[in-house]
Amino acid sequence: MAEPRLGILSSKIENMQQVDENSPHFGFGVSDSNNQGRMQSPNGRGRNIQYQGTGDYSSENVDTNFHMDMDNPQSSGSENMTPDIIGSPEIQIHSEGMPMTSVSQGSVHSPSNEHVVQPIIQVTGVNDDTQVYTGGEDSPSNASPCMICNDRGSGYHYSVFSCEGCKGFFKRSVQKNLVYTCKNEGSCVINKFTRNNCQYCRFVKCTQMGMKREAVREDRSPGGKHRNKKPRLDEIRAMVSSDGEVLFVPGTQESKPTESFEDPIMEGLINARPDLIPRVDGNICLQSMGINQLMQYGYAELKYIIDWAKKVPGFTELRLEDQMALLKSSFMELNVLRLSYRSMETGSCIKFAEGLKVPIELAQKMGWGKELVAATVEFSARLKELSIDKVEFCILNGIVLTYPDAQNLMDKQKVILLQTQILDRLRKYHSHKFPGNVRRYGKMLLRLPFLRTVSAKAAERFLSLTLDGTLQLNELVLEMIN
């Protein structure tokens, strides 16, 4: 098979192969006939897993002291523990009291009222000539605002769409190792009118929005401009090695999970924090926002998805080509899943970021369109109908990331094994948390085909707006959804 051509995303996840020595390591061994689908871990912990912890991470109090016997799945109370491979051929989901549903090539066909979905976004090889514009009148995104001060942006500088002023300020600050102080204890509002009033808060906001010091160190060209060139590897590596630097939070800092699980996969899925979202600083006039400004928060979330993925147990042990293929295939679905989840309690609004709730009617006028907004709201309502908690949300993100029907996979069996392990955690969590609701597992999985429908609508909408010149999509996002 021909080697797939790697584009911008390949550079962004190249250093994911370097696994943190403090994080759990997962090996994929060959299962014998008596141990099919069980993970082979280096320390031999493949059975009798005891969950411990008293944290209140989910929306309801979760008693995490429960026993999961990996050698005897039936002991957990589950009706049918046969591994389900979402998106792979000829896999059937059985749930007591429910019609049998077959999942084939990413489609779910059910005799119920659930949607029938065919495979959607076709991911193809990306031309190696993919370019990133970082300034000047020829930039395709020169009408979008600066993420730092909201002035007219000129392109992507140090990983963030910003204006020439903020780009130059950040570059000078880093190259000269300048240290600033704030007279207002770091509470200054930064916009195009106040950005020169407090250098400390301006620099802090630059780093909060994602500007990378590492990218500046390699910028030695006159004027610091790199037009029509591929992104530098150092800048991309900085994006995927920014653990702990990002300051976008899900509501409050206190919501960080405190549970401790002996099962490293379950613990890793929860501690990866897929609920982290962009945060808006200062006041924003919604009426003056357009789709290009709104999409800036989608670009910020893309960085979080890449950073989150490398924390998913077992993901960085896949081949680099497979990591790239999975991220490309799941990016839009992960975006819609997160957007819908955090919009469950916002009523008639869509929560694009912490501090940015856009009314449905206004979102339609901004360019999302009536059909896409309606589909997003509908999927959010379906999640709310199940009262999905944060533990389930974390696991669902892992399931979506590991669909084995992604194109150009080099080692599909490893992906299938990884998704099987994640599905098993959802099933066992349900058997403990909802022992009297044997249908919940199947109902939750049947939400995923509709998620794929909504993500397809989103991709089609954004590409259509790009073709007619309304939307100037980030080059990386174009690579992900084209």
d(CA 202, CA 170) in angstroms, rounded, equals 9
Mean pLDDT of 401-409: 94
d(CA 176, CA 182) in angstroms, rounded, equals 19
CB atoms within 10 A of CB 244: 5
The pLDDT tens digits of the residues spanning 209-223 come to: 888 887 786 444 444
The answer to whether the CB of 291 falls within 8 A of the CB of 368 is yes
Query: 375: Cβ–Cβ under 8 A, 6 or more apart, which residues?
Result: 453, 454, 457
Closest alpha carbon to 318 in 27, 21, 6, 116: 27
Is the model's pLDDT at 242 over the cut of 60?
no
Three-state DSSP state, 313? coil
Identify the residue with better confidence: 184 or 259: 184
Share of the chain above pLDDT 70, in %: 60
Closest alpha carbon to 69 in 439, 428, 433: 428
The pLDDT tens digits of the residues spanning 268-306 come to: 999 999 988 887 766 777 877 888 888 888 778 888 899
CB atoms within 10 A of CB 405: 19
**pLDDT computed for residue 161 by the predictor:** 87
Mean pLDDT of 27-36: 35
Where residue 317 falls (left for φ over 0; alpha for ψ -120 to 50; beta otherwise) is alpha
β 101-104/260-261 pair status: unpaired
Q: List where CATH 1.10.565.10 sits in the chain.
A: 8-125+245-481
> Residue 438 corresponds to which amino acid?
V
The pLDDT tens digits of the residues spanning 304-333 come to: 899 999 999 999 999 999 999 999 999 999
Architecture field, domain 8-125+245-481: Orthogonal Bundle (1.10)
The pLDDT tens digits of the residues spanning 112-155 come to: 333 333 332 232 232 322 223 333 333 334 457 898 998 888 88
The pLDDT tens digits of the residues spanning 448-481 come to: 999 999 999 999 998 888 888 888 877 777 777 7
d(CA 23, CA 267) in angstroms, rounded, equals 10
Q: How confident is the model at residue 442 (pLDDT cuts 50, 70, 90)?
A: very high
The answer to whether the CB of 148 falls within 8 A of the CB of 209 is yes
**pLDDT computed for residue 175 by the predictor:** 84
**pLDDT computed for residue 260 by the predictor:** 53
CATH class of 155-229: alpha beta
Q: What is the pTM of this model?
A: 0.55
The answer to whether the CB of 312 falls within 8 A of the CB of 268 is yes
Compute the mean pLDDT over every residue in the chain, rounded to the nearest whole number: 70
> Residue 119 corresponds to which amino acid?
P
DSSP track, 211-250: --HHHHHT--SGGG--TTBPPPHHHHHHHHT-TTT----S
The pLDDT tens digits of the residues spanning 251-274 come to: 333 354 445 556 889 999 999 999
Where helices occur in 310-369 by DSSP H, the ranges are 320-342, 360-363
d(CA 339, CA 324) in angstroms, rounded, equals 22
Residues in the chain: 482
Mean pLDDT of 379-388: 95
Query: 225: Cβ–Cβ under 8 A, 6 or more apart, which residues?
Result: 134, 135, 136
Q: C-alpha angle 135/140/142, rounded to 5°? A: 55
Q: Which helix (H) or strand (E) holds 52?
A: strand 49-52
d(CA 429, CA 277) in angstroms, rounded, equals 25
